[in-house]
Each structure stands twice: as C-alpha cells, then as structure tokens.
C-alpha cells in the first residue's frame, strides 16, 4: 500500500526546508524529498552574508533549517520525483521506483546551472566549493560576469595559481565584489570575451557560472498541461480563483526559484515556502 501524506514537498533548498518547518508546526503529515543534497543551492555556497541573522557556509544554514524542521515533526528522504499525476482529489507521485500519495504537493525544486555551450577537453565544474581542491595550484578560467562568478572567483583565489574571469559582456557583479577581486594579484578580468574551444583548452580547469534554468523534470506528464510553465520554463502560479502560489490544478503549489517571478534569493525563497505552506494548510481544511 503506498504511503499517503497531507503534503509532499519536492526539493531541499530554503523554500522546501522552510515549508517543511512551518508545515510540521501546523500539524501537517508531510515529507520532503530531495534528489541531491538538502540545502539545495545553499550547499554549494562557501559563505552567505546576506541572510538576516546568519553569516557562514550555506551548507550550515541549510542544515540548521532542516534540523528545526525535524524537531517540529517533518520527515525527510532522498529520492527523485519523476512524475506527478492527479487522481480524483489527490496526487500520485513517482519517487524513484516508489509510489507516494498526497492530498497536496509543493514543488520547490529551485534551479540548476546552465551548461557551457562550448566544447572543451579540460575538466569543467559548476561549483567552486565542491571542486576547488581539484584545481589546487592550477591555471583556471571562470566563465560569467555576475555575482556568482565573482563570488566563486574569490573562493578559488587562495587555492589556484591564477584565475582568468571571462565575461561575455560587461561585468554585472556588484561594485563591492569587483573591488575585492581587483585587490587580488591572481585574478584577471576579461570583459566581452569571445569564447572558443581553442581559448578554453588553454586552461587547466574551467568553472562555469552563467546563470540558471528551472528544475522542472519532477513534473513528468504534468509538464504537458497547458499553462503549467511560462515561456522561460518556470512554473506559473496565481491563476484566477487560485492562491498566489497555486498552480492551475487544485492542491498543487510551487515556491522558490522554480516559480515564475521569483527574485531568486535565499531569504525570499524561504519566505516563499512559508507563504505557500500557509496557503496549503488553508486548502487542506
């Protein structure tokens, strides 16, 4: 007999963890499934200093929120959701090879890094915190021009021999981050760079930070449903007669970076998860 819950949360980032915390405190029988690491994108950030009341590794922040949720009664498990189907007044989810039933579903899967579109023969990484040791003492390229590229370059700087930051446009990173990079002797910034296989193969390793795309593979057959996704692939919410986080189908919700219109910050994702679960609790009544 499949396990049944009031709420199944798909994802493990700040939106999912905060939703699990508040949902458990509201007395919902819920479980959150994560396919990689709880903390989501937080787990790959070396230092978070813009989350009120916290300054430290993103992994620690995610672990703390999860700990609070567990203490409140939330359940967590590893597993990848590959399909969500509507059955009468409930949902049937496929988690790995297991079927799980839920009265409501919150999709908080966030986003994932965009891939490098140039073919190269050298190692490519999308996480400085994860793979910095592999680049120790090497000549590396960082691709990107936003805050992520600048922040990850600062993480790599004490470990690698030299960094060439290649931005296809003018730098968009904050003035503060650009100033910090300019004070380091082993970081060279090249704006409006023309990327090619020949250029990139001249480095020992490449780190790529060129934005993200929504992680919506969990939708499965639902992705074909009209009005589920916007033109950029993010999940649309707030339909007429639905709550702000509700999708076009009753009992189905989205929160965090995967939702259309999200500003994609840890603090707003956490708030988004809380708002969504309050709507879900009202729906379940």
What digits encode the pLDDT tens for the residues 60-103? 999 999 999 999 999 999 999 999 999 988 999 999 999 999 99
pTM of the full structure: 0.82
Output the CA torsion sign for 95, 44, 236, 145. Answer: negative
**How confident is the model at residue 76, as a pLDDT?**
98
Say if CB 167 and CB 144 are below 8 A apart: yes
Over its length of 285 residues, how does the chain's per-residue pLDDT go in tens digits? 899 999 999 999 999 999 999 999 999 999 999 999 999 888 877 778 789 999 888 899 999 999 999 999 999 999 999 999 999 889 999 999 999 999 999 999 999 888 999 999 999 998 888 888 899 999 999 999 999 899 999 999 999 999 999 999 999 999 999 999 999 999 999 999 999 999 999 999 999 999 889 999 999 989 888 889 999 999 999 976 668 999 989 999 999 999 998 888 899 999 999 999 999 999 999
Both structure tokens of 207: 């780190």
**242, burial (CB in 10 Å: exposed 0-12, middle 13-18, buried 19+):** middle
Q: Give the ranges where 1-122 is alpha helix by DSSP (H).
A: 14-25, 58-71
What digits encode the pLDDT tens for the residues 22-68? 999 999 999 999 999 999 888 877 778 789 999 888 899 999 999 99
**How confident is the model at residue 240, as a pLDDT?**
65
Residue-wise DSSP of 86-102: EETTEEEEEETTEEEEE
**How confident is the model at residue 250, as a pLDDT?**
92
Angle, CA 157 vertex, CA 151 and CA 158 arms, to 5°? 125
Domains and CATH numbers, the chain: 3-113+212-284 (3.50.50.60), 124-208 (3.50.50.60)
SS3 of 167, please?
A: coil
**How confident is the model at residue 13, as a pLDDT?**
96
d(CA 35, CA 80): 5
**192, burial (CB in 10 Å: exposed 0-12, middle 13-18, buried 19+):** exposed
């Amino acid at each position: 007999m499949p396990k049944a819950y009031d709420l199944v949360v798909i994802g493990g980032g700040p939106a999912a963890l905060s939703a699990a915390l508040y949902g458990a405190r509201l007395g919902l029988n819920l479980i959150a499934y994560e396919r990689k690491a709880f903390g989501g994108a937080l787990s790959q950030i070396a230092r978070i200093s813009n989350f009120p009341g916290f300054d430290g590794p993103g992994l620690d922040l995610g672990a703390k929120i999860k700990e609070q949720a567990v203490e409140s009664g939330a359940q967590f498990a590893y597993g990848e959701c590959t399909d969500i189907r509507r059955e009468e007044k409930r949902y049937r989810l496929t988690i790995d090879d297991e079927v799980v039933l839920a009265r409501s579903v919150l999709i908080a899967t966030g986003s994932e890094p965009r891939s490098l579109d140039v073919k190269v023969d050298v190692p490519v990484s999308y996480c400085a915190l994860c793979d910095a040791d592999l680049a120790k003492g090497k000549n590396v390229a960082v691709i990107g021009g936003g805050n992520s590229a600048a922040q990850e370059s600062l993480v790599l700087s004490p470990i690698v021999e030299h960094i060439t930051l290649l931005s296809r446009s003018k730098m968009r990173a904050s003035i503060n981050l650009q100033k910090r990079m300019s004070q380091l002797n082993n970081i060279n910034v090249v704006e409006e760079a023309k990327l090619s296989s020949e250029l990139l193969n001249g480095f020992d390793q490449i780190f790529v930070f060129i934005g993200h795309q929504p992680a919506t593979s969990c939708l499965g057959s639902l992705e074909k449903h009209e009005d589920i996704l916007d033109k950029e692939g993010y999940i649309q919410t707030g339909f007429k007669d639905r709550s702000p986080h509700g999708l076009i189908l009753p009992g189905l919700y989205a929160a965090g970076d995967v939702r259309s219109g999200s500003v994609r910050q840890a603090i707003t994702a956490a708030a988004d998860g809380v708002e969504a679960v309050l709507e879900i609790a009202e729906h379940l009544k």
